[in-house]
Amino acid sequence: MHKERLSNLFETFDPAVKNIILGVLDIEQEHISMEKPRVKEHIDEIISAVAKKEIEKLDEQERP
């Protein structure tokens, strides 16, 4: 599948970055027929969710 090919393209990147990219690609795909899609809020939601998990992970690592 072409989607898998795209996913593999970002295999070497940080999983958090990869997850964001794949989430954003799905959003873009859903809005591909629009010339000026309003996707910023959706993208922000994806990034916020990943960022919160990243902060939690760092907090856990810093905990003694």
Partner 1 sequence: MKLERITIDNFRQYCGKQRVDFAKDEQKNVTVIHGVNGAGKTSFFLSINWCLYGKSLDNVKVIDNVGELMSKEAVNQAAIGDTIRTSVDLAFLHNGERYLVKRTLQGIKLIDGTVNVEDNDSFTMMRTKADGQAERINNPIGTMNSILPVNVREYFLFDGEKIDNFAKPEAAAQVKQAIYLVLKLEILERARRHLEAVATEYRKELKNKSGQQLRDLLEQEEKARAEIIKAKERIYDLHQEKESAERKIADIDKRLREMENTNILQQQRDRIERELKQRRTEMEDVVAIIRDLATSGYYVVAETAIKKAILLLEEKRARGEIPSDYRQQFIRDLVDKMVCVCGRPFCDGSEEHRTLLAKITHGLPDTLQDEVLNTCAVLQAFEQRTEKHRADVDSAMRRRAELVDIVSSLEAELDDVSRQLKGSPLEVISKLERNRENFHADIQGYILEIGSLHEREIKFVKDIAELKKEIDRARREEKREVLLSTKLDLAQRAADAIADMYQTFADDMRGKIQEKTKEIFKKLVWKESHFQDVKLGPDFNLEVIDRYGYSARPELSAGERQVLSLSFIMAMSRISDEEAPLVMDTPFGRLSSHHRNTIAEQLPILATQLVLFVTDEELRDEARQNLESRIGAEYRLEFSPRTSCTEIVEVR
Q: Which residues bind partner 1 (CB under 8 A)?
A: 1-2, 5-6, 9-10, 13-14, 16-18, 20-21, 24-26, 28-35, 37, 39-40, 43-44, 47-48, 50-52, 54-55
40 versus 64: smaller Cβ distance to partner 1: 40
Minimum separation from the CB atom of position 64 to partner 1 (A):
20
CB 57 within 8 A of CB 31: no
